[in-house]
Amino acid sequence: MQIALFITCFNDTIFPQTGRAMVQLLERLGHRVEFPTAQTCCGQIHFNTGYQREAIPLVRHFVATFARYQVIVAPSASCVGMVREFYARVAEVSGDRRLAADVAALVPRVFELSEFLVHKLGVEDVGAYYPHRVTYHPTCHSLRVLHLGDAPLRLLRKVRGIDLVELPNAEQCCGFGGTFAVKNADTSMAMLGDKLRCVLDTRAEVCAAADNSCLMHIGGALHRQRAGVRAIHLAEILAATE
Minimum separation from the CB atom of position 223 to other proteins (A):
4
Of the candidates 15, 48, 47, the one whose C-alpha atom is nearest the C-alpha of residue 176 is 48
Site string for other proteins, 133-152 (x = CB under 8 A): -------xx-xxx-------
Residues 42 and 8: beta-carbon distance below 8 Å: yes
Task: Please work out the total of residues on this chain that contact other proteins, with binding judged by CB under 8 A.
Answer: 66
Shorter beta-carbon distance to other proteins: residue 12 or 205 = 12
Q: What are the beta bridge partners of residue 34? A: 4
Q: Per CB under 8 A, does 168 bind other proteins? A: no
| Site for other proteins contains 216 (CB under 8 A) | yes
DSSP letter, residue 162: -
* Nearest distance from C-beta of residue 165 to other proteins, angstroms: 22
Whichever of 75 and 162 has its CB closer to other proteins, that residue is 75
Nearest residue (CB) to other proteins, 85 versus 125: 85
CB of 57 to other proteins, least distance (A): 5
The nearest distance, CB 119 to other proteins, in angstroms, is 20
- Please, what is the minimum distance in Å from the beta carbon of residue 63 to other proteins? 13
Question: Can you give the three-state secondary structure of the chain, one letter per residue?
Answer: CEEEECCCHHHHHCCHHHHHHHHHHHHHCCCEEECCCCCCCCCHHHHHHCCHHHHHHHHHHHHHHHCCCCCEEECCHHHHHHHHHHHHHHHHHHCCHHHHHHHHHHHHHEEEHHHHHHHHCCCCCCCCECCCEEEECCCHHHHHHCCCCCHHHHHHHCCECCEEECCCCCCCCCCCCCCHHHHCHHHHHHHHHHHHHHHHHCCCCEEEECCHHHHHHHHHHHHHCCCCCEEEEHHHHHHCCC
Q: Is 217 in the site for other proteins (CB under 8 A)?
A: yes
Beta-bridge mates of residue 165: 135
Q: Interaction with other proteins in 5-24: which residues (CB under 8 A)?
A: 7, 9, 11-16, 19-20
Q: For the window 25-64, what string marks contact with other proteins as x by the rule CB under 8 A?
A: ----------x-xxxxx-x-xxxxxxxx-xx-xx--x---
Residue type, 106: L
- Interface residue with other proteins, options 176, 202, 204, 235 (CB under 8 A): 176
Closer residue to other proteins in complex, CB, 54/166? 54
Interface residues toward other proteins, by CB under 8 A: 7, 9, 11-16, 19-20, 35, 37-41, 43, 45-52, 54-55, 57-58, 61, 86, 89, 140-141, 143-145, 171-173, 175-192, 194, 216-217, 219-221, 223-224
